[in-house]
């Protein structure tokens, strides 16, 4: 079997790994083995945090809605309960946006359900 020299392939692989690890601290940005390990961990965290992000945003929306409803003498749970009772089909993301950026519109929604 003929001899295979892999210098170019190995160098290309090394370059790609180090390019992806650019900006990492200490040996993770310069040493191939550490960079590879750091990239594996980074990928795992990125995967799981893409799912976590959805819950984080929902909590933020709830917090904003709660703050806005408290200013009108309501609690978050009573506000959401009243919305469901009146069959208002606005989700928490939209309600949060209205509470933050359009308080007069949010106030009209509160008057509508009260």
pLDDT digit string, tens, across residues 1-41: 898 888 899 999 999 999 999 999 999 999 999 999 999 99
Report the CATH number at residue 18: 1.10.1900.20
Total number of domains in the chain: 1
Is residue 1 included in any domain, yes or no? no
Is residue 78 included in any domain, yes or no? yes
The C-alpha atoms of residue 98 and residue 25 are separated, in whole angstroms, by 41
User: Cβ of 106: how many Cβ atoms within 10 Å?
Assistant: 22
On the 0-12 / 13-18 / 19+ scale of CB atoms within 10 A, 52 is exposed
Full-model pTM: 0.76
Is residue 25 included in any domain, yes or no? yes
Is residue 12 included in any domain, yes or no? yes
Is residue 2 included in any domain, yes or no? no
The residue segments making up the domain with residue 73 are: 7-113
Q: What is the pLDDT of residues 83-108, one digit of tens each?
A: 999 999 999 999 999 999 999 999 99
């Amino acid at each position: 079997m003929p001899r295979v020299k892999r210098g170019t392939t190995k160098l290309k692989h090394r370059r790609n790994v180090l390019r992806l690890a650019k900006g990492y601290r200490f040996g993770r940005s310069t040493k191939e083995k550490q960079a590879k390990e750091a990239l594996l961990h980074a990928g795992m965290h990125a995967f799981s945090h893409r799912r976590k992000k959805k819950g984080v945003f929902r909590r933020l929306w709830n917090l904003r809605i709660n703050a806005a409803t408290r200013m009108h003498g309501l609690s978050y749970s009573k506000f959401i309960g009243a919305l469901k009772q009146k069959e208002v089909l606005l989700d928490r993301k939209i309600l949060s946006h209205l509470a933050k950026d359009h308080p007069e519109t949010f106030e009209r929604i509160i008057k509508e359900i009260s």
